[in-house]
Amino acid sequence: MNDADHTDLVLVPFAGAEPPAPDWFTQAMARTPEQASVASDATDIEYLAWGDKGKPGLLLLHGGGAHAWWWAHIAPFFENTHRVAAMSMAGMGGSGWKQSYSVEQTARDMRAMTEAAGLFEAGKPVIAGHSFGGAPTVTAAADAEGWARLAIVIDSSLDMAHQPTREKFTTQRERRYFDSLEAGLKRFRFMPPQSCENHFIADMIARKSLVEIDGKGWSWCFDPNNYRKTQGVDSRAKAKAAQCPLAIVYGERSLLMEHHYVDKLREDLPSETPFIAIPDSGHHVMVDQPLALVAAMRTLMA
C-alpha cells in the first residue's frame, strides 16, 4: 500500500513543500513568540508567550501528542488584549520527558507556567485546553485555590480514557525515525484521523513536531509511551468541582463530541454553562475553523 492510499496523510501531495497560506495566517505567524521554560517537578516545561505582561492572562493547552505550537496561529489574535502563553505538556514538544506522567501534575505544571509567564499580573487568568488537555484544564479549575477566572474546554467530552491501561498503549513503543524532514512530513496525520482543508496549518504543526537527532534522523517531538505512562483522573468529578465557570467549545462534526457525549456534559455541568458548536469543524478545531474558534473564545472571555 502506498502513501496515496492513506487519505489521512494530509501533507503527501505537497512532497515537503510549504502549502500556500492566506494573509491572516502569514501575519499571525510573523508575530514571533517569546520561547522559555520553567522547572516544575524537576522537569523543564516549555512555553511560548505573546503580548505584554500586565494584561489579563490567557493560558492555552494542547491535546495529546501535540505541543505549544499548535496554538501559534491562534494566540496572536489575543495579544492586543491579553498576555498569552501556550504550554507544552511534559513528554511533548520541547518539554522534558519523565518516567511517569499524571494529569494532576500537568495541572500543577500549568500553575507553575502561569506564574513564570506573568499571566497573574492582571488577576486570575483564563485557561483553555483542547482534547487530552481538557482533563488537566478541569483539574486546574478544580484547584482549591481557585486560581483561574474561566476554564474553556475545547472538544473534550471528559469521557476520554486518560488511564495508561488502555489496550492500545499497554506495550512499550519505540521511537520512530525518518531519513529527512520531508519524509517525516509525508507521514504526518491527525489523531483521530481526519481530512484537512487548511493544509498550511497542518504543515506548520508538522514542521514544529519534527526534531533532528544527531546520528538517527528526524523524529516526532513526543514520548511515544506518554499515554501508557500517564495516570488519569475522574475528569467529570473535577469538572463538577470547578472553582470557576466552565465553557464547552466543540467541533460540530467531531467524532469525539457526538450528541450523546454533549448531552451527558449538559446533564453534569451547571445549567448556565455555555456550549458552543463550531460549524463544519471536526475534532481539531484550531485547524479546521481557527477564526471561528478565535471568535468563540473572544466572546466567552468578554
Which DSSP helix (H) or strand (E) runs through 219? Answer: strand 217-220
CA quadruple 271, 78, 193, 221: dihedral, nearest 10: -120
Per the CB < 8 A criterion, the answer to whether 252 and 277 are in contact is yes
Q: How far from 26 is each of 16, 71, 77, 174, CA to CA, in Å?
A: 18, 14, 12, 36
Grade residue 296 by pLDDT with cuts at 50, 70 and 90: very high
Cell numbers placing 90: 511534559
Least confident of 38-52, 161-175, 197-211, 280-294: 161-175
- Taking residues 118-143, what's their average pLDDT? 98
Tell me what pLDDT residue 2 has. 36
Q: For the chain, give the mean pLDDT.
A: 94
Helix (H) or strand (E) holding 278: strand 275-278
Angle 183-220-297 from CA coordinates, rounded to 5°: 110
Summarize the confidence of residues 205-217 as an average pLDDT.
97
Any bridge partners for residue 263, and if so which?
Answer: none
pLDDT above 80: residue 214:
yes
CA distance 117 to 47: 8
Of 195, 228, 224, nearest in space to 209 by CA? 224
pLDDT-based confidence at residue 6 (cuts at 50, 70, 90):
low
pLDDT of residue 183 exceeding 70, the answer is yes
Q: What is the pLDDT of residues 138-175, one digit of tens each?
A: 999 999 999 999 999 999 999 764 344 444 567 889 99
* Structure confidence by residue, pLDDT tens digits, 24-74: 999 999 999 999 999 999 999 999 999 999 999 999 999 999 999 999 999
The half-sphere exposure of 118 on its side-chain side, counting CA atoms within 13 A, is 13
Which of 17-21, 51-55, 171-175, 230-234 is the least confident region? 171-175
CATH code of 11's domain:
3.40.50.1820
User: Tens digits of per-residue pLDDT, 246-274?
Assistant: 999 999 999 999 999 999 999 999 999 99
pLDDT of residue 7 exceeding 90? no
Q: Is the pLDDT of residue 297 over 90?
A: yes
Q: Write the CB contacts of 171 (distance below 8 Å, at least 6 apart in sequence).
A: 228
Number of domains in the chain: 1
Axis-axis angle for helices 134-141, 103-116 (nearest 10): 70
pLDDT at 1 over 60: no
Strands 217-220 vs 210-213: parallel, antiparallel or unpaired: antiparallel
* Amino acid 172: pLDDT: 86
All cell numbers assigned to 2 = 502506498
DSSP designation for 83: E
Q: What is the pLDDT of residue 3?
A: 38
Find, among 244, 235, 38, 39, the residue nearest to 124 by Cα.
244
Per the structure, the complete domain to which residue 52 belongs is given by 3-301
Q: Are residues 84 and 211 in contact, defined by beta-carbon separation less than 8 angstroms?
A: no
